[in-house]
Amino acid sequence: MSLLSSEQVASTASVEDAVGQSRATREARIRRSYSRRSAIWWPPVIVFFLLIGIWYLIATYYDKVQGLPFLVPYPHLVITKGFLDPLFGPQLLADLGNSTQVALTGLAIAIVIGVAWATLMSLAKWLERSLFPYAVILQCVPILALVPLIGALFGYEFASRVIVTVMISVFPMVSNTLFGLQSADRAQRELFKLQGASKATTLLKLQFPAAMPSIFLGLRNAAGLSVIGAIVGDQFFQRGTPGLGVLIQVATARVNGPGTYAAILTASLLGIVVFLFFGWLARRVVGKWYDL
């Protein structure tokens, strides 16, 4: 009886030790996770406040020394007379919606064109040699020089803005997708060939899965460039529904420093939001298999 009791005591003690170790392991994991999150967020926050301090110093110089406060307004004025102004604020939101529509439409078209272009080039070396130079030319062509021609051919409204956005943002999709498709393991490709797999099967079941990290990298780069394309197109095609580009020009012409900076910051935040969204999407889609 006493032997049974001692075994029960030992078993109970071992269970308690296991529970304690599990709890300690879980607490240690939580602490490590918290410390990782802190390490990710604290440096940008510190840099943000440093930049705000530098901004105040420069604004003070232009206000007190140069006598030109509208060139570099104080950050708090950008908030109160830009974002929160009862007249400028609603216009800022409306133009943000218009620029977002142009940017996302151009980005969607650039994704389709870029992936299709890269897929075609990955099928054969002669196709890559024939088509890739034109992707480079499209990246290097001065978009501003083509603005009058694009306007004359397609008008000066939504379609032309989207075309400029596509031209600016398509190259990262082409180059990154092509690199990803060509980075599939050579031994695995030889295995697919030995098994008699068609090019379509190899492409869908081997090359595209291997290319996903590169494709999402291209998506993030193209997302930021699409916002730039929307702003550039908006500044030169000033007919139709205006966006942030037109608002920046109007605020600058009216010597509305806080409004100009608010519009510029809004355009930058739009690019950051789109970039972060595709980074989050990449982690959700392929983060379990690749370190992103």
Per-residue pLDDT reduced to its tens digit, 47-86: 889 999 999 999 999 988 888 888 999 999 999 988 998 8
As a whole number of angstroms, the distance between CA 96 and CA 116 comes to 30
The gap between the terminal CA atoms of the chain, to the nearest Å, is 59
- Largest Cα–Cα separation, the chain: 100
Same-domain check for residues 138 and 3: no
As a whole number of angstroms, the distance between CA 81 and CA 84 comes to 6
Task: Characterise 67 by phi-psi region: left (phi > 0), alpha (psi -120 to 50), beta (else).
Answer: left
- Res 157: pLDDT: 85
Give domain status of residue 121, yes or no.
yes
Give domain status of residue 107, yes or no.
yes
Give domain status of residue 105, yes or no.
yes
Same-domain check for residues 235 and 271: yes
Same-domain check for residues 80 and 68: no
Express each pLDDT in 221-237 by its tens digit: 999 899 999 998 888 88
- Res 16: pLDDT: 52
Same-domain check for residues 220 and 202: yes
Place of tokens 């929160």: 84
- Res 9: pLDDT: 47
Read off the pLDDT of each residue in 4-27 and give the average, rounded to a whole number. 55
Residue with the larger pLDDT of the pair 24 and 215:
215
Express each pLDDT in 94-142 by its tens digit: 999 999 999 999 999 999 999 999 999 988 888 889 999 998 888 888 8
User: Taking 50 as the threshold, does the pLDDT of residue 1 lie above it?
Assistant: no
Tell which of 54, 72, 90 closes a domain. 72
User: Taking 90 as the threshold, does the pLDDT of residue 23 lie above it?
Assistant: no
Provide the domain count of the chain: 2
Same-domain check for residues 51 and 89: no
Same-domain check for residues 184 and 255: yes
Give domain status of residue 32, yes or no.
yes
As a whole number of angstroms, the distance between CA 268 and CA 274 comes to 10
Same-domain check for residues 229 and 247: yes
- Res 5: pLDDT: 55
Tell which of 56, 72, 88 closes a domain. 72
By the 8 A CB rule, do 165 and 98 touch? Answer: no
- Res 14: pLDDT: 55
Q: What is the CATH number of the domain that holds 274?
A: 1.10.3720.10
Q: What percent of the chain has pLDDT over 90?
A: 34
Read off the pLDDT of each residue in 188-212 and give the average, rounded to a whole number. 82
Read off the pLDDT of each residue in 238-253 and give the average, rounded to a whole number. 85
- Res 104: pLDDT: 93
Place of tokens 């075609």: 120
Same-domain check for residues 235 and 211: yes
Give domain status of residue 291, yes or no.
no
The answer for residues whose C-beta is within 8 angstroms of residue 259's C-beta and 6 or more apart is 81, 82, 85, 88, 92, 247, 251
Express each pLDDT in 33-46 by its tens digit: 555 665 667 788 88
Same-domain check for residues 68 and 79: no
By the 8 A CB rule, do 211 and 184 touch? Answer: yes
Tell which of 72, 96, 122 closes a domain. 72
Residue with the larger pLDDT of the pair 176 and 291:
176
- Res 173: pLDDT: 93
Give domain status of residue 151, yes or no.
yes
Same-domain check for residues 5 and 98: no
User: Taking 80 as the threshold, does the pLDDT of residue 245 lie above it?
Assistant: yes
148 band by pLDDT with thresholds 50, 70 and 90: confident
Give domain status of residue 147, yes or no.
yes
Q: What percent of the chain has pLDDT over 70?
A: 84
Residue with the larger pLDDT of the pair 120 and 1:
120
Token digits of residue 273: 């939001």
Same-domain check for residues 111 and 243: yes
- Res 34: pLDDT: 56
Same-domain check for residues 124 and 194: yes
- Res 26: pLDDT: 62
Structural domain for 131, as ranges: 75-286
Give domain status of residue 292, yes or no.
no
- Res 3: pLDDT: 47
